[in-house]
A and B are shown apart, each in its own frame.
Chain A
Amino acid sequence: MRRPLLAYALLSPAIVAVAFLIGYPIWLAVDVSLREGRTMNILRLDRLPRGWGNYARILDEPANWDALVRSAIYVVGSVTPAFLIGLGLALLLNRAFPGRRWIRSLMMLPWAVPGVVTSIAFLWLLDGSYGVVNSLLRRTGLLEGDIAWYARQETAMLAVIVPTVWKGFPFFALTLLAAMQAIPHQLYEAARIDGASPIDLFRHVTWPGIRGPGLLAVTLHSLWVFKELDIIFAATGGGPAGATETLALRVYLEAFQFFRLGSASALGLMMMALCAILVLLSLPRMRARFF
């Protein structure tokens, strides 16, 4: 092709950014994860002896396994409803009605709201004393007394899942809507002529058209939720009594509350390995998209 020198010259700022601000940091994290012991002076981290101690300690620590289970609950509990709501919205927005463009924009807004802001909005909605959700539940007779959603161990996970779903469904709605709009109209017309019911249409025309992009979106969104920190950190900080302490949160607390950078890095790298497994499982679809 044309001058490869120019090709690399144009790429160079991005290469520099990726090498110094993603590549080197990952290497550094690997190095730190292999340093045993603790030091309060992080400039002396590289004087610590090398070894697999951090990894062994992580696997031995039951709290990490509990956090893995909580992460799984958080991911499945957040992604499933977000997908279903997104699918319902996409089906609705795929129909023609007046003002559709504006309503679509409004419905997508939650995606753009920062995690911390989402979190404080729901902290207030679900507040135990003055929260409007408790009030609405009481007024409709669904609840007798008030529930302090974030302060109770049984409800705290649900209370962080709800804002995560709220922030997550627009991604599914948009992805699935785009996939639906790529399905040729003729398929629907032909099926209708053959006497297909709306349910048949969904199962045999819409679903095959959105399944691929939908699964890919589920994978990508699961990765995002698995890594998510902002919502939980601002809402509960992992509490009460660790009820919302996911792996992502443990990595952060381990590093910046207990200052064990080595084991925090090791735990973070193991999270990445879990992400890689998820990606490998859906590699055929990933390949079509990224390569």
Chain B
Amino acid sequence: MPASRNIPTLIAALALAIVILFPVYWMFVTSLLPTTIVLTRDPPLLPPLASASFAAYGEVFARRPVLTWFLNSVAVTSGSVVIALLASTLAGYSLSRYRTRGQQAAGFVLLLSKMLPPTLIVIPFFIMFTTFGMIDSLVGLMLANAAVGVPFASWLLKGFFDGIPQELEQAAMIDGCSEMGALWRITMPLARPGMAASAVYLAIVAWADFVFARTLVSKPDNWLLTVGLQSFIGEHAVDWTMLMAAGSLSLLPVLVLFLLLEPFLVSGMTQGAVTS
């Protein structure tokens, strides 16, 4: 059956998508509504649009340093993505083009990183950061997040470099290009989709970080958004509209990344799970 006429499947898929996305929808809807509607025993599933407003966002900004947390998260995420991407692009290229001990080691390190509980690695991080006076340092958080991302990103990028024929570089070198020049001018531009996939992957993982952020930073002004969000919960009465507003805000960058770069993300997630 041609795709355009397969309407029953489309309807089934849409219905499923609605169920799947309901938690996100509900978070956003709650953030828009006044408490009088939110705190009822049987809240309406389709909210009255007339009473929707962004008031809770203004309130949460005024009462908590949500904007500071948001910017801290942005800084740590971008910093760790840049560091990790730089190291893993070079490593991925090297692993793809040269036979060194690095190949076996890379597979081993990747497996190791999959087995390493974040709650364990954060203990020596805490000791090291205390020793070097790096507690409360956002740079320290960047390094910690970059480190856990490097093994996977290197290996992901190796896969992309494997797909770029070496002959292209050799041809450039015959035409008088240096080895680094060939890497820079020929291979890198071709590897951009791979770098985009790795960057999105690294960004989503760093943006979600909670264990490092909660342990290695203590001053509320240095918190990341995830830590700030969690701090709403311990209180006696949770202010749900404010919490859902802050939560929706934390999803904004994720949504942007996701909708803009989704094709790259999919290739990043499935790369290697299926040997092609």
Q: Which residues of A contact B (CB under 8 A)?
A: 1-4, 6-8, 10-11, 13-18, 20-22, 24-26, 28-29, 32, 42-43, 45, 89, 92-93, 95-100, 103-118, 120-125, 127, 129-130, 132, 135, 138-139, 163, 166, 171, 174-175, 177-179, 182, 213, 216-217, 220, 223-224, 226-227, 229-230, 233-234, 248-249, 251-252, 255-256, 261, 264-265, 268-269, 271-272, 275-276, 279, 286, 288-291
Contact in complex: B16, A107 (CB < 8 Å): yes
Interface residues on B, range: 35 or more
Contact in complex: A29, B123 (CB < 8 Å): yes
Expressed in whole angstroms, the minimum distance between the Cβ of B258 and any Cβ of chain A is 5
Contact in complex: A178, B274 (CB < 8 Å): yes
Assuming A13-B87, A251-B120, A269-B120, is B259 touching A105 (CB within 8 A)?
A: yes
Contact in complex: A223, B247 (CB < 8 Å): no
Expressed in whole angstroms, the minimum distance between the Cβ of A152 and any Cβ of chain B is 17
Expressed in whole angstroms, the minimum distance between the Cβ of B276 and any Cβ of chain A is 7
Contact in complex: A279, B215 (CB < 8 Å): no
Q: Which residues of B contact A (CB under 8 A)?
A: 1-4, 6-7, 9-10, 12-14, 16-17, 20-21, 23-24, 26-27, 30, 38-43, 45, 83-84, 86-88, 90-91, 93-95, 97-100, 102-104, 107-128, 130-131, 143-144, 146-148, 150-151, 154-155, 179, 204, 207-208, 210-211, 215, 226, 229-230, 232-233, 238, 240, 243-244, 247, 250-251, 254-255, 257-259, 262, 265-266, 269-270, 272-276
Residues of A within 8 A of B41 (CB): 129-130, 135
Can you list 26 A-B pairs, Cβ within 8 angstroms, ordered by A?
Answer: A7-B98, A14-B90, A17-B83, A17-B146, A26-B116, A26-B124, A97-B6, A98-B7, A98-B10, A105-B262, A112-B254, A120-B243, A120-B244, A121-B23, A124-B240, A124-B244, A132-B45, A220-B114, A224-B114, A230-B226, A234-B233, A248-B117, A265-B120, A272-B115, A288-B275, A290-B111
